[in-house]
Amino acid sequence: MTVIDTEPTAVAAPLPALPVEKPLLRDYHAARWDEPLIFQLSAEGHRGIDVPAEDPAALEATPESVFRRSDAPGLPEIGQSQVLRHYLRLSQETLGADLNVDIGQGTCTMKYSPKVNERFAGSGQSVHTHPLQDTSTMQGTLQILHELESYLAEVSGMDAVSLQAGSGSAAIYGNVKIVQAFHESRGEAEQRDEIITTIFSHPSNAATAKTAGYKVITLYPDENGFPDLDALKAVISDRTAALFITNPEDTGIFNPRITEYVDAVHAVGGICVYDQANANGLLGIARAREAGFDLCHFNLHKTFSTPHACGGPAAGAIGATNELAPFLPGLRVERTSEGYAWAKPSESATADIRPFHGVIPNLIRAYTWIRSLGPEGLRQVSEIAVLNNNYVLAQLLKVDGVTAPYAAGQHRIEQVRYSWEKLAGETGVSSSQIGARMADYGMHYWTSHHPYVVPEPLTLEPTESYSKRELDEYIEALRHTAAEARSNPALLQEAPYRSSIHTVDVDATTDPDTWATSWRAYRRKYLGEEFAAVPRWQPATDLPVRQRPPKAHHR
């Protein structure tokens, strides 16, 4: 081979040097597709797959009353590539834990769910499990459930765990019904008609108690942010059924005197229930048992990494002491000499919270997360979550206009409820308007549960999943937004500008008369009753697509 050495006729200009460090404030803009509903994309005869023709002999052998449909399923007719583009476009209009720094989801404990765990949760043994199949064909699944019960019992200190609940709120309701059943067994159900909770505990505690028919007594904080102990002692009596309390509460403040509250309620014969939705800062550090609680619950879609899944299906777990274990709902798993089997519920068991035995794929996600970390890893999760939270606290308190009410100068556990009251008073910009502007920087932002006990609230919960740079990105976006509020308040009052949907009709979202929870309901409500008789699988092409008003883009 001959090598020819020649002089270049021109020298290419050197590439520009990259900046040493990319600015923390991202130049973000959401996609905006104005995507129709998938039923509006339906076209007769289009197919994603060719379904094999039915076997006449098999059809004849199938009991009509059990398995055979009387009409075709109401599904859109659409090709595979159109389906793919439809859902990818919708995903581009959405923020989430896998896309953005999600510490602004408040008390929701958004964390990374390892993708390797999806291989287990999405396996055929998981998603194709039938609740009525023979236990000999699902020994692996039953072993996972049995071991997960034992892990959660160890984490909480409880003696027994039920995995039936499909969400944290469902688990809280299960605990309310256990309290009710326990007092009924003692002939005190009618007498004990009051449940006590606190304003900074999760609202599901009060909501589920009210749903079950209890009078709800709510404790407010003292000057340090703790539930007022004297107020508790003033309201407990022989009418007290239970205390439902979160610790740390949604302010992130841990109550070191929690056993005094528990002892006071026990002294009048009440049950103490620990809402552990905020347990992400306590794993391997503090347990419900040592604080004297009788019942507790976990949100597996918070603390144990299973995704929130846009509101469901999630997963919850109920823990109980031996005294209350007979009242646990649902099937539990027992290990016998022949393997794993469903244990027969106690005669005292409360009614099932949901059909059968919980959300199996999410329970598998929680199990794999726990197994991959081990006891030391679980404790490290909490230590890093607490460290991240207090780093954000220290940085945000340097921003002019931000305060952290209660427990001045003290560390918090896994979250903080901040206040923009000072900034709002000086600029007229509210917390919700700051949140709308944060969407322009690709960030979620959550105020707090109502009522706003903390004025102009902002609730942040950094978990163990976020790096220091990601936390700094969120802090910088808040710092920049606060500066915008001072220099140009009108900019925030009209935000967001770079979000997929600029404005949300809040009144419509809270009015059931405006909802359409299915395609048929949408057609009936917005096209008139005569369309309700149209076959469900017939597409409609005359429905309006979502309209979004144009807005100028601001930086």
Provide the mean pLDDT of the chain.
88
> What's the token pair of residue 405?
């009410």
Please tell me the predicted confidence (pLDDT) of residue 205.
Answer: 96
pLDDT exceeds cutoff 90 at 320: yes
pLDDT exceeds cutoff 70 at 531: no
- Asked whether the bond before 248 is cis by omega within 30 degrees of 0, the reply is yes
pLDDT exceeds cutoff 60 at 6: no
pLDDT average, residue stretch 110-121 = 91
Q: What angle do CA 47, 49, 53 make, to 5 degrees?
A: 100
Of 313-317, 385-389, 459-463, 503-507, the range with the lowest mean pLDDT is: 503-507
In this predicted model, what pLDDT tens digit does every residue of 396-412 receive, in sequence order?
A: 999 999 999 999 989 99
Please tell me the predicted confidence (pLDDT) of residue 544.
Answer: 41
CA–CA distances in Å: residue 296 to residues 158, 202, 301, 419: 8, 13, 16, 30
Q: How long is the chain?
A: 555
Element (H, E) at 421: helix 421-427
pLDDT exceeds cutoff 80 at 166: yes
CA 351 vs. chain centroid, Å, equals: 25
Query: What is the SS3 assignment for 190-238?
Result: CCCCEEEEECCCCHHHHHHHHHCCCEEEEECECCCCCECHHHHHHHCCC
Please tell me the predicted confidence (pLDDT) of residue 70.
Answer: 74
Please tell me the predicted confidence (pLDDT) of residue 513.
Answer: 82
Q: How confident is the model at residue 64 (pLDDT cuts 50, 70, 90)?
A: low
pLDDT exceeds cutoff 70 at 457: yes
pLDDT average, residue stretch 113-134 = 90
Asked if residues 481 and 492 have their Cβ atoms less than 8 Å apart, the reply is yes
Please tell me the predicted confidence (pLDDT) of residue 312.
Answer: 62
Q: How confident is the model at residue 221 (pLDDT cuts 50, 70, 90)?
A: very high
Q: Kindly list the domain boundaries of the chain, sorted by start residue.
A: 37-42+78-90+98-108+420-555, 124-372
pLDDT average, residue stretch 334-344 = 93
Q: What angle do CA 497, 502, 503 make, to 5 degrees?
A: 140
Please tell me the predicted confidence (pLDDT) of residue 549.
Answer: 37
Please tell me the predicted confidence (pLDDT) of residue 65.
Answer: 62
pLDDT exceeds cutoff 80 at 509: no
Q: How confident is the model at residue 67 (pLDDT cuts 50, 70, 90)?
A: low
pTM: 0.87
Please tell me the predicted confidence (pLDDT) of residue 11.
Answer: 55
In this predicted model, what pLDDT tens digit does every residue of 14-31 receive, in sequence order?
A: 767 666 678 899 889 999
pLDDT exceeds cutoff 90 at 227: yes
Burial class (CB in 10 A: 0-12, 13-18, 19+), 71: exposed
Q: How far apart are CA 546 and CA 508, in angstroms?
A: 15
Please tell me the predicted confidence (pLDDT) of residue 362.
Answer: 92
Q: How far apart are CA 217 and CA 268, in angstroms?
A: 16
In this predicted model, what pLDDT tens digit does every residue of 93-107 receive, in sequence order?
A: 988 888 889 999 888
Q: How confident is the model at residue 225 (pLDDT cuts 50, 70, 90)?
A: very high
Output DSSP code: residue 251: T
Please tell me the predicted confidence (pLDDT) of residue 354.
Answer: 87
In this predicted model, what pLDDT tens digit does every residue of 260-309 receive, in sequence order?
A: 999 999 999 999 999 999 999 999 999 999 999 999 999 998 899 988 76
Please tell me the predicted confidence (pLDDT) of residue 525.
Answer: 81
CA 464 vs. chain centroid, Å, equals: 16
3-state helix, strand, coil in the chain (%, to 5): 40, 10, 50
> What's the token pair of residue 152?
């959660």
**Architecture in CATH of 124-372:** 3-Layer(aba) Sandwich (3.40)
Q: How confident is the model at residue 510 (pLDDT cuts 50, 70, 90)?
A: confident
Q: Where are the alpha helices (DSSP H) in 93-135?
A: 116-121, 124-127
pLDDT exceeds cutoff 90 at 129: no
> What's the token pair of residue 466?
């976020």
